[in-house]
């Protein structure tokens, strides 16, 4: 199902890009449209309190904390529509992968056991930014949606754990860009509206940390 969704999105994006690219060529003198590809890295910043998990009888069973949020990879494509002398709309589509190390303490044994477990996530993200162009400098901000398409988790070794990614997660994004010839450089700061790790489910109940994930992203792109 997820592969079908990815394929459908890719087909729609390709068709839209080609169509708009042809229209853009006709209006090349006005430079109202351009498109390109970009890629880079992302770093996560999240520092929540420990998450205490209770079972069905409300007996503490696990304590989880975020040990390390690692660097991620972000690749994608963008379309740039000039809507005025200095204003623009910039929709994008990206594949983003990140990893997080969790330290889990199992309290169900006479001597609690500590395990370091890794979760990896691959998301399809859809930023839509509005911006202001001042020469080669871009200032932009907007909304971003993220849809989980894959990953694996060391927490799945516990039968009481389940991943429950529910639809598209929403967030916000803001940043600056620099366009030099056909090269463009972007530095963005991104945050989620929901709390971190809302996909976690223990004993049939959703849990989440008491902090929201923030990401810093840097990308280099090429405009066609």
pLDDT per residue as tens digits for the range 146-171 = 999 999 999 999 989 999 898 899 99
Percentage of the chain exceeding pLDDT 90: 73
The pLDDT value recorded for residue 30 is 52
Question: Which of 111-115, 167-171, 214-218 comes out lowest in average pLDDT?
Answer: 111-115
Q: Please say if the pLDDT value at position 31 is more than 90.
A: no
* pLDDT band at residue 2 using 50, 70 and 90 as cut-offs: very low
Question: Which of 191, 189, 188 is closest to 221 using CA atoms?
Answer: 188
- Average pLDDT, stretch 126-148? 97
Compute the mean pLDDT over every residue in the chain, rounded to the nearest whole number. 88
Collect all residues with Cβ–Cβ distance below 8 Å to 53 and sequence separation of at least 6.
60, 61, 62, 63, 64, 202, 203, 207
> Structure pTM?
0.80
**Predicted pLDDT of residue 3:** 45
Q: What is the mean pLDDT of residues 31-36?
A: 91
| Structural domains in the chain (count) | 1
- The pLDDT, as a whole number, for residue 109 is 81
Q: What is the CATH number of the domain that holds 124?
A: 2.40.160.20
Q: Rounded CA gap, 224 and 64, in Å?
A: 46
pLDDT at 8: 44
Please give the pLDDT value at position 29.
Answer: 40
Q: How confident is the model at residue 19 (pLDDT cuts 50, 70, 90)?
A: low
> Which residue range forms the structural domain that includes residue 83?
2-223
Q: Could you give the percent of the chain with pLDDT greater than 70?
A: 87
């Amino acid at each position: 199902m997820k592969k079908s969704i990815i394929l459908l999105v890719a087909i729609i994006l390709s068709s839209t890009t080609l169509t708009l690219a042809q229209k853009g060529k006709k209006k090349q003198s006005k430079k109202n449209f351009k498109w390109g590809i970009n890629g880079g890295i992302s770093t996560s910043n999240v520092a929540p309190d420990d998450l205490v998990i209770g079972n069905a009888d409300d007996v503490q069973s696990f304590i989880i904390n975020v040990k390390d949020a690692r660097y991620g990879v972000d690749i994608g494509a963008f379309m740039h529509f000039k809507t005025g002398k200095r204003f623009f709309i910039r929709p994008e589509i990206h594949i983003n992968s990140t990893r997080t190390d969790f330290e889990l303490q199992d309290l169900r044994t006479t001597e609690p056991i500590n395990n370091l477990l890794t979760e990896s996530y691959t998301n399809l993200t859809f930023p839509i930014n509005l911006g202001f162009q001042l020469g080669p400098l871009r200032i932009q901000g907007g909304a971003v949606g993220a849809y989980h398409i894959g990953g694996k988790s060391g927490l799945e070794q516990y039968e009481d754990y389940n991943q429950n990614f529910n639809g598209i997660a929403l967030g916000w994004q803001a940043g600056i860009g620099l366009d030099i010839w056909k090269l463009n450089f972007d530095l963005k700061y991104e945050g989620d509206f929901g709390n971190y790790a809302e996909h976690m489910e223990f004993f049939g109940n959703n849990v989440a940390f008491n902090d929201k994930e923030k990401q810093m992203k840097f990308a280099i792109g090429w405009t066609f």
